[in-house]
């Protein structure tokens, strides 16, 4: 039996893991790999450098290659490489969450036009099996809500801030030194990475296209050690949560932001670089999928699984993996973050004056906002008081208007609270 010919774009950390893992299987052969620098020393034993090229089009235009594995990331010029590969009759395996979020509709329309499969298990939660279970085993469920920790960098930073009572800046520097954070960490710490992932995940879960530009995004750069400590005292942990849910009116609420998560919940105990996705649906109820969200071999596990799924179908049917294809074509109507209802944690610094607690209460009461917790954390040397408020569920626009009335107070933190 002829071996299935594989072409790879990228031989970095994940690419190396894929290369090493594929050596375990006799039915596939890596024919060509596009890299930036052919002469770079790589941690791969007995690498045949003759299969390396610095021109990605050598891979996507190779007539013998049946599956192209894209591991270079980004949108441009990657989109053109994948587009060319599909037009040349090749199936695609990718870990590119940004491309899926920004070009998903065009990508899947093109793949159907050419009767080719695009698989992307590694793009959402690294080594955590997620996409295939949702498209197969969980297909009989009506998914109502997803809450996920799907960015290891931010989860590591928030965990260390909590455990060490350290500042964001200090922990970020440590994360960069350990290789958990990029030199430019913006994509992670500002929530872009998680937003890309929850966009694709919600699209699958709800059977409607989610537009990235309508996904609310807020990063972790404003979270303070004081917030972590107070949250812990009140029975919470602060996590960067990527969330998608369908409201009673049928609109989709998809967002990424820090959240106070009750310590009684499983997500509160997902620490360091671990990823976890909590899925709520009917009839399944709540299930949690968790594991390594990044790294050479965990991510390679998902990539290789996709490769072998395609390889097993080649030559057996004219329409490969129908359940794994894109079957939704309508676009979800999205709710704006200003229209959502949440509980809120608020840290306020106010003048130590008679009636300030009452003023805060009145500002909230004027907007029909009830308070579940209100406490003063002592006085500072400059005669100001730190006041902590946790509200009951209220509308986002109402809490913003209420806080605007506190014109002589400093709002240190406003973080949504999970239930």
CATH number at residue 21: 3.40.50.720
* 139 and 193 assigned to the same domain: yes
Burial of 384 (0-12, 13-18, 19+ CB in 10 A): middle
User: For residues 402 and 364, is the Cβ–Cβ distance under 8 A?
Assistant: yes
**Residue 333 resides in a domain:** no
Separation CA 93–CA 131 (nearest Å): 13
pLDDT, the chain, mean: 95
**Residue 332 resides in a domain:** no
How many domains in the chain?
A: 3
- Please report, rounded to a whole number, the percentage of residues in the chain having pLDDT higher than 90: 90
The arithmetic mean of pLDDT across residues 157-169, rounded, is 95
Q: Which of 50, 51, 36, 38 is nearest to 5 (CA)?
A: 51
pLDDT score for 379: 75
* 56 and 16 assigned to the same domain: yes
* 174 and 288 assigned to the same domain: yes
pLDDT tens-digit series, residues 18-60: 999 999 999 999 999 999 999 999 989 889 999 999 999 999 9
* 61 and 87 assigned to the same domain: yes
pLDDT score for 192: 98
Q: Which two tokens stand for residue 130?
A: 């997620």
**Burial readout 45-72 (b: 16 or more C-beta within 10 A, e: otherwise):** eeeeeeebbeebeebbbbeebbbbbbbb
Determine the angle formed by the axes of helices 396-404 and 356-365, rounding to 10 degrees: 140
- Please report, rounded to a whole number, the percentage of residues in the chain having pLDDT higher than 70: 100
* Residue 111 pLDDT grade (very low, low, confident, very high; cuts 50, 70, 90): very high
* 254 and 400 assigned to the same domain: no
* 170 and 214 assigned to the same domain: yes
pLDDT score for 378: 72
* 318 and 358 assigned to the same domain: no
User: For residues 245 and 334, is the Cβ–Cβ distance under 8 A?
Assistant: no
Q: Is the pLDDT of residue 372 over 90?
A: yes
The arithmetic mean of pLDDT across residues 299-304, rounded, is 96
* 249 and 210 assigned to the same domain: yes
**Residue 383 resides in a domain:** yes
Separation CA 71–CA 65 (nearest Å): 16
pLDDT tens-digit series, residues 320-367: 999 999 988 899 999 999 999 999 999 999 988 778 889 999 999 999
Looking up residue 379, the CATH number of its domain turns out to be 3.30.70.260
Residues ≥6 apart with Cβ < 8 Å to 134 = 143, 201, 204, 205, 279
**Residue 59 resides in a domain:** yes
User: For residues 8 and 93, is the Cβ–Cβ distance under 8 A?
Assistant: no
The arithmetic mean of pLDDT across residues 366-389, rounded, is 88
**Residue 329 resides in a domain:** no
Separation CA 360–CA 346 (nearest Å): 11
Strand order in the sheet with 67-70: 52-53, 28-34, 4-9, 67-70, 91-94, 118-119
pLDDT score for 329: 83
* 306 and 368 assigned to the same domain: no
Q: Which two tokens stand for residue 184?
A: 């430019």
The upper half-sphere exposure of residue 178, i.e. CA atoms within 13 Å in the direction of its Cβ, equals 14
Determine the angle formed by the axes of helices 78-87 and 97-113, rounding to 10 degrees: 20
**Residue 331 resides in a domain:** no
**Residue 48 resides in a domain:** yes
197 is catalytic: yes
pLDDT score for 1: 63
pLDDT score for 366: 94
Range of the domain at 302: 4-126+296-324
pLDDT score for 382: 76
pLDDT tens-digit series, residues 232-280: 999 999 999 999 999 999 999 999 999 999 999 999 999 999 999 999 9
Separation CA 402–CA 416 (nearest Å): 15
Question: Other C-beta atoms within 10 Å of 213: how many?
Answer: 9
**Residue 58 resides in a domain:** yes
pLDDT tens-digit series, residues 136-156: 999 999 999 999 999 999 999
* 113 and 213 assigned to the same domain: no
Catalytic, out of 102, 197, 237, 343 = 197
Q: Give this prediction's pTM.
A: 0.95
* 173 and 25 assigned to the same domain: no
Q: Which of 262, 261, 244 is nearest to 253 (CA)?
A: 244
Q: Is the pLDDT of residue 179 over 70?
A: yes
* 64 and 39 assigned to the same domain: yes
pLDDT score for 198: 98
């Amino acid at each position: 039996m002829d071996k299935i010919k594989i072409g790879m774009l990228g031989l970095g950390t994940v690419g190396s893991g894929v290369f090493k893992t594929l050596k375990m299987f006799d039915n596939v052969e890596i024919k060509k790999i596009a890299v930036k620098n052919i002469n770079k020393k790589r941690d791969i034993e007995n690498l045949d450098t003759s299969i390396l090229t610095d021109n990605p089009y050598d891979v996507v235009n190779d007539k013998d290659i049946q599956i192209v594995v894209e591991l270079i990331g980004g949108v441009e010029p990657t989109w053109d490489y994948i587009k060319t590969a599909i037009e040349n009759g090749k199936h695609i395996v990718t870990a590119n969450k940004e491309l899926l979020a920004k070009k998903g509709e065009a990508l899947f329309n093109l793949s159907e036009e050419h009767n080719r499969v695009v698989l992307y298990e590694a793009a959402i939660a690294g080594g955590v099996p997620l996409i295939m279970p949702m498209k197969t085993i969980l297909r009989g469920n009506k998914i109502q809500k997803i809450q996920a920790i799907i960015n290891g960098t931010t989860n590591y930073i928030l965990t260390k801030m909590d455990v060490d009572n350290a500042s964001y800046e200090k922990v970020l520097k440590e994360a960069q030194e350990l290789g958990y954070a990029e030199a430019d960490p913006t994509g992670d710490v500002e929530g872009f990475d998680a937003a890309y992932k929850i966009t694709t995940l919600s699209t699958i879960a709800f059977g409607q296209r989610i537009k990235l530009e309508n996904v609310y995004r807020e990063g972790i750069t404003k979270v303070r050690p004081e917030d972590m400590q107070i949250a812990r005292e009140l029975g919470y942990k602060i996590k960067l949560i990527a969330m998608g849910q369908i409201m009673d009116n049928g609109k989709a609420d998809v967002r990424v932001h820090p959240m106070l998560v009750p310590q009684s919940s499983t997500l509160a105990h997902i620490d360091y670089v671990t990823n976890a996705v909590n899925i709520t649906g009917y009839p399944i109820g709540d299930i949690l999928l968790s594991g390594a969200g990044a790294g050479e071999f965990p991510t390679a596990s998902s990539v290789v699984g996709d490769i072998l799924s395609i390889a097993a179908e080649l030559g057996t049917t004219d329409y490969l993996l129908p359940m794994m294809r894109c079957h939704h074509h309508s676009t979800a109507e999205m709710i704006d973050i200003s229209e959502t209802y949440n509980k809120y944690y608020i840290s306020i610094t106010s003048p130590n004056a008679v009636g300030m607690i009452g003023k805060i209460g009145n500002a909230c009461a004027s907007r029909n906002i009830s308070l579940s917790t209100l406490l003063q954390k002592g006085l500072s040397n400059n005669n100001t008081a730190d006041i902590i408020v946790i509200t009951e569920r209220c509308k986002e626009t109402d809490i913003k208007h209420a806080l605007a009335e506190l014109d002589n107070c400093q709002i240190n933190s406003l973080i949504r609270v999970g239930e």
